[in-house]
Amino acid sequence: MEKNHLPILIAGGGIGGICAALALARKGRRVQVFEQAAEFKEIGAGIQLGPNAFHVFRALGITEAVTQAAAFPEALIVMDSLSGDELTRIPVGPEFRARFGYPYGLIHRADLHAVLLEACRKSPLVTLSPSQQVRHFDDLGDRVTVTLSSAEVVEGAALIGADGLWSTVRAAVVGDGKPRVSGHIAYRAVMGANEAPPANRRNAMIIWAGPKTHLVHYPLRRGELFNLVAVFHSNRYEEGWDTYGDVDELHQRFAGTCTEVQGMLRKIDAWRMWVLCDREPIKDWSKGRATVLGDAAHPMLQYLAQGACMAMEDAVCLAGCLEAADGECEKAFLDYQQARYLRTARVQLTARLYGEVLHASGATRDLRNAYLRARTPERAYEDMAWLYDAQNVGDSWNAGAAAAGRM
Ligand SMILES: Cc1cc2nc3c(=O)[nH]c(=O)nc-3n(C[C@H](O)[C@H](O)[C@H](O)COP(=O)(O)OP(=O)(O)OC[C@H]3O[C@@H](n4cnc5c(N)ncnc54)[C@H](O)[C@@H]3O)c2cc1C
């Protein structure tokens, strides 16, 4: 399949970049990943994996490794954080698996990243280059050159920007300025499960929805750890990434929430803080021999818990398109964005809407609560089907093989 003997270059070794490297290697392409950090690793926080992520794991042959590291909750529960009342409980046990074919998983980011990385390390086709920031690239028509922070210039068949929210590659390919600061702030922490108040130590993903705030907690590592994410509205922060949170402000924002929420928040002294950003959806994020994926292509608020899932879907789709295009990068990148943009745009826009609904007050809160109380699990499954069914993941992965009559 490979017409161009040069490797495909990837800027960024987060979940999206590493997953793309693995997917391309599984399709027989040589890849080199440049990561600006000194090590390939993820931050210490949890991540939710919808069944759509498991389509990706199956395609890449890593389902078992992910399953061993993940926790599998019995239910997704939404509580009202003022009254402490349960609003809805969606079972994600056997009936959910029967409906979607795959489970709902909860995993430590470092564990997911490690599974992807380990699979990459086992492949002779993947070169991992840490401490290398991509500064600039040139599309020379039949190949690209990438200039690194070390001043080294590397040649590749094409460049994939998996360099996240503040993507350098996107700036060159799309050039639409800075991301949109949402005014929502996330504080994250992980604690030992035995430190969590016993009433909250449930095998469930629990969201406490409140006015301009919410708290999410769920177990990780087969229940040994507990992940917490507390979100509130604040116009105090313009932009920034990965700094320590102000505990006094957190407690002030959650004043008025029920004792269970306050009790959970008091368990943590040191929170990491994120200023949450997204962008308007776009449909063109490829130009010539360069494209972007994951947060570089369609950064989204985390309210659907799908940013990393979308990045991994992108990776598998892109590798499938490259195989189907017989290695012609320019065509493959256009096919890939065409296959992906409507789905990712829908997730970006729905995530904003979910944020508003979660953080509602007054009549909107009452309406939300009435809707969620009345909703049956079957109806909830149908509401999620557009997102979780993800048959297209398998289809795009197999497109090349299908075109070649190998299926
Ligand atoms: C609070 C919160 C909760 C979330 N929860 C979930 C969830 O439950 N489920 C889910 O699916 N998603 C979730 N997400 C979203 C998810 O974290 C992101 O969408 C995902 O990590 C994006 O992966 P990425 O590889 O595209 O980008 P990133 O993770 O940002 O990785 C980019 C990588 O590129 C590197 N880099 C940047 N610039 C350069 C350069 N010029 N040269 C070389 N390297 C570079 C960076 O160092 C980094 O390693 C959540 C996000 C937040 C903030």
Residue 104 annotated to the active site: no
**Residue 4 pLDDT > 70, yes or no?**
no
Residue 50's identity, in one-letter code, is: G
Hey, is 387 helix, strand or coil? helix
- Selected residue with higher pLDDT from 275 and 393: 275
Per-residue pLDDT tens over the stretch 207-241 = 999 999 999 999 998 889 999 999 999 877 666 55
Q: Which two tokens stand for residue 158?
A: 């094409």
* Tens-digit pLDDT profile for residues 166-199: 999 999 999 999 999 999 999 999 999 999 888 8
Mean of the pLDDT values across residues 114-140? 98
In this structure, are residues 253 and 213 in contact, taking their beta carbons and an 8 Å threshold?
Answer: yes
Mutate to test the pocket of ligand 1, among 18, 47, 112 (most ligand atoms within 8 A of CB): 47
Cβ of 133 closer than 6 Å to ligand 1, yes or no, is yes
Q: Is residue 301 predicted with pLDDT exceeding 90?
A: yes
Q: What is the pLDDT of residues 25-81, one digit of tens each?
A: 999 999 999 999 999 988 879 999 999 999 999 999 999 999 999 999 999 999 999
- Pocket probe for ligand 1: among 34, 36, 150, the residue whose CB has the most ligand atoms within 8 Å is 36
Q: Give residue 112's identity as a one-letter amino acid code.
A: L
Q: Is the confidence at residue 308, as pLDDT, over 90?
A: yes
> Which tokens sit at 313?
């879907």
pLDDT for 341: 97
Mean pLDDT calculated for residue range 305-331: 97
Average pLDDT over residues 329-354: 97
Is residue 3 scored above 70 in pLDDT?
A: no
**Sheet containing 134-139: order of strands:** 134-139, 144-148, 153-156
**What is the predicted pLDDT for the residue at 2?**
44
Average pLDDT over residues 116-138: 98
In the set 102, 104, 187, 218, the catalytic residue is 218
Compute, in angstroms, the gap from residue 39 CA to the centroid of ligand 1: 15
Which of these, 101, 83, 103, lies nearest to 93 by C-alpha position?
A: 103
Token pair belonging to 28 = 């027989």
d(CA 267, CA 281): 38
Report whether 351 contacts 276 (CB < 8 A): no
What count of residues does the chain have?
Answer: 407
Cα maximum dimension of the chain: 63
Report the alpha-carbon distance of residue 311 to residue 324 in Å, rounded.
20
| Contact indicator for 321, 336 with CB cutoff of 8 Å | yes
* Alpha-carbon torsion angle 110, 116, 120, 126, nearest 10: -90
| Among the ranges given (136-145, 239-248, 260-269, 357-366), the one the predictor scored with the smallest mean pLDDT | 239-248
Lowest mean pLDDT among 130-144, 155-169, 384-398: 384-398
- Burial grade of 260 (CB within 10 A; 0-12, 13-18, 19 or more): middle
Average pLDDT of every residue of the chain: 94
pLDDT in tens, 85-99: 999 999 999 999 999
The CA-CA-CA angle for residues 67, 72, 74, to 5°, reads 160
Where is average pLDDT lowest: 68-77, 267-276, 366-375, 394-403? Answer: 394-403
- Report the distance separating Cα 45 and Cα 273, nearest Å: 12
What would the mean pLDDT of 119-127 be, rounded to a whole number?
Answer: 98
What is the predicted pLDDT for the residue at 246?
86
- What average pLDDT does the segment 341-365 reach? 97
Give pLDDT, residue 269.
Answer: 87
